[in-house]
Chain A
C-alpha cells in the first residue's frame, strides 16, 4: 500500500486511474535538427497517429451522424497524406535542417494561403480545414492533447497545480477528481472541484510521483488521503465511505424543491458560484435559487485578446436566460494578483495581491470596463442580472463605477438597445477598508456580498495562495467574523441585503453564526446547495449565538 497524505479540499471518495496533466505549449519554434532521418520518423509517427485519430472520428461520426460528416474526417485524413503537402513538409525539413513542427506549420500556412486566395467562397473556406489538419499533426508532434486529457476513460487528474487558464481547457466529462502537489483550499483547482462536486486533494508535495501515472488510485477528498494498492482495511473503509456518500446523496435529493428556511421561519437565499456558462447545468440540477457569483474572468482567461462586447453579451445572456428570472449576480472582471492574462500587459508587481487588480484595472482602463458594462446591460433585458464590483476600498470608487454605468445606459438608450434600467448594483466586501466604510458604501448600492477568501487574506495578512500558512490562515478567526458582522449591521441599517460568496458560506459548521449575524444569502458551489439547505431547514435562527466572535 502506498499512502499519500495531503489536504482534502473537495469532499467525496472516488477511485480511478491517475493521469498526469501536461502543460499544453502550442507555440512552434524553429530549431536546427541534424539527425533528419530520426526527425522524418517523428513526422511519420505524428502523421500515422493523425490518420488513426481521423479514421476513429469518421467511424464514430458514421454511427452517430451519418455518412456526410464522416466523409469530412476521411478527407482530412487524405489531406494528412497528400503527396504535395507531405513533400512540402519534407523538403522544408531537408533544405533548412529544421524540426518537423516548423515544417508542418509552414506547409500548413502555405497550402491554407493557396485555398484562401481562390476566387470561390467554398474553396476559401477550405483553408480552415488545412489549418485544422496541420494543427492535428502539430499536436501529435508536441504531445498536446485536445481537451488536455489523453485517455478514453475518466481519470483522476494529477498535477503540480493548475492555473485557471489550464482548467478551462480540460474536458470536464473525463475528470473523476483532482490530486495536486501544491495548491490550497482556495486554489482554482479546489474551486473547480467543488463546482463539479468531485473530490480533490491538494498539497501532496513530492509524495505524488509522476511514475504513478496510470495506476489505480483511491482518493478521499475529506481526509486528504490518496492511496495506491490499498490494504484490505483501507479498501473496506473507502468502500464504506463511498456507500455512505451514495446514501447521503440520495437523501439530499429529497431537498430539491424545498424552501431555504429555518424552523423558525428565517429565509436564507441559497445561490451558486459559477465560473462559466456551462456550470449553469450544475446549478439547475442542484436546485440553486440563483447565482450569487458569476466570475466573468473565464471570458478573459480563455481568450488570446480582449473578448468583444458581443462575445460577453452572448455569455451573460445565455446564463440570464437559462436561470429564467432568478437573480444572476455577475462580478465584473477580477484579474490581477493570482489571475494573470498576458494581453492585459500588466507590469510585474512585487506584491500583486496589493497591486493593480480587479476594479482598479477597470477604473484605469475605461474602454475595457465600458465593453463589459455594455454587455452586462444589454444582457439585463433577458433575465434578472445584478452587477457586482470586486475589491472595493473607497466610496469614490463605487461612485465612479456608477457613473460608468449611467454613461453606458445613456448610450444604449440613445441607440435604442433594450436594457433593464433598474439592474441591481452591489459591491464585494473583501477588504478591511470596505468594512470600515460599510455604512457609507451601503447607501450607494443595492447589496453587499462578502468574499471571505480575500477578506481573510487581507484581514489576517495571510497570502491565500501560500501552501504553508496552515493554521494562520483561519477564516473562522474572530476578526474575520466580526468584520462580517460590522458589514451586515451596516447593510441592514441602510435597508439592503448582505450575502457571502466565499467558500466559508458552504461551511455548515458556521451556519449558526451566519444566522446570528443575519446573513441574508449564501452563495456556494452547486454541489453544496442541497447539504446546506438540509442544514438550514434543521436550524432555529433565534437560538443561534455570536459566541464564535469571542476570542
Chain B
C-alpha cells in the first residue's frame, strides 16, 4: 500500500470538474483500489458523488492511498494529478 498526504490549494476545493477528472483517472487503474480520505472518512477515488460529498475545501489535508497490483504507478499518477489540478 502506498500513500501520500496533500494540502488542497484550489480555491473551490474538490469541486465537480476536478472530481470528474480524478474519478476518470482512478478508473484507469482497474486492479488497484485508490482512496481519498478527509478526517475519518475515506471514499474510493472512482466514486464521483461520494468524493464530492467529502466537501474537501481549500486548506484541507487529504490522505490518498493506492493498494493493489499497480499501486506504484497509481500513486505516482495521483500525486501528479493533485499537484496539477488541486
Tell me the A residues contacting B by CB distance below 8 Å.
Answer: 71-72, 74-75, 78-79, 82-85, 111, 114-115, 118-120, 122-123, 126, 129-130
Contacts and interface: CB of A to CB of B under 8 A. Distances in A.
A72 B47 contact: no
Contacts of B57: 120
B48 A118 contact: no
A137 to B, nearest CB: 14
Interface stretch (B9-17, B30-38, B63-71, B75-83): B9-17
Contacts of A83: 44, 46-47
Given A78-B24, A79-B48, 10 more contacts: A72-B17, A74-B20, A75-B16, A75-B48, A79-B49, A111-B49, A114-B49, A115-B53, A120-B57, A126-B52
Contact of B55 (A74, A85, A120): A120
Given A71-B20, A118-B55, A82 B12 contact: no
A123 B55 contact: yes
Contacts of B49: 79, 82, 84-85, 111, 114, 130
B50 interface: yes
Nearest to B12: A122
Contacts of A71: 17, 20-21
A122 B11 CA distance: 11
Contact of A123 (B17, B21, B52): B52
A82 B24 CA distance: 11
9 contacts: A72-B16, A78-B48, A79-B48, A82-B47, A115-B52, A120-B55, A122-B13, A123-B55, A126-B52
A119 B47 contact: no
B48 A82 contact: yes
A337 to B, nearest CB: 48
Contacts of B17: 71-72, 75
Nearest to A118: B55
Contacts of A114: 49, 53
Q: How large is the interface on B (under 10, 10 to 19, 20 to 34, 35 or more residues)?
A: 20 to 34
Interface of B: 12-13, 15-17, 19-21, 23-24, 44, 46-50, 52-53, 55, 57
Given A118-B55, A120-B57, A78 B23 contact: yes
A74 B16 CA distance: 10
A119 B53 CA distance: 10
Contacts of A82: 47-49
A74 B17 CA distance: 9
A130 B49 CA distance: 9
A78 B20 contact: yes
A118 B53 contact: yes
A180 B14 CA distance: 52
Given A78-B24, A115-B53, A123-B52, A84 B47 contact: yes
Contacts of B48: 75, 78-79, 82
Nearest to B19: A75
Contacts of B20: 71, 74-75, 78
A75 B19 CA distance: 8
The 10 closest A-B pairs by CB, nearest first: A75-B20, A82-B48, A75-B16, A82-B49, A71-B17, A78-B20, A78-B48, A118-B55, A84-B47, A120-B55
